[in-house]
Amino acid sequence: MVVDFYPVKNSYGDVSKEWFIQILTFLGGTQSKKYLNRVEMGIQVRERLAYGYEVIDFNTIPQLGNPMSGAC
């Protein structure tokens, strides 16, 4: 299982400093997408590190999305 976190970019091209998208991938297929604010993302990262997940890379390429519209 792979968990990726990406910054969110809106349709105007602005990158949010508050919102991120979490993408869970299992065996090469996307299982779920979820919008998280900065605090929720920090909690998710800490919990996953506590369970033994390893940090491999940092995603800096913003993904187009609208956290106010709900899940993808």
Domain assignment present for 64? no
Q: Mean pLDDT of successive 10-residue segments in the chain (72 residues)?
A: 89 90 88 92 93 84 80 52
By DSSP bridging, strand 29-37 and strand 63-64 are unpaired
Q: Give residue 57's pLDDT.
A: 78
Domain assignment present for 67? no
Query: Edge to edge, what strands does the sheet with 2-9 contain?
Result: 29-37, 15-26, 2-9, 63-64
Q: Give residue 20's pLDDT.
A: 93
Domain assignment present for 35? yes
Q: Give residue 58's pLDDT.
A: 78
Owning domain of residue 30:
2-54
Number of independent structural domains in the chain: 1
In this prediction the pTM is 0.79
Q: Give residue 13's pLDDT.
A: 86
Domain assignment present for 68? no
Q: Give residue 64's pLDDT.
A: 85
As a whole number of angstroms, the distance between CA 2 and CA 17 comes to: 23
Domain assignment present for 12? yes
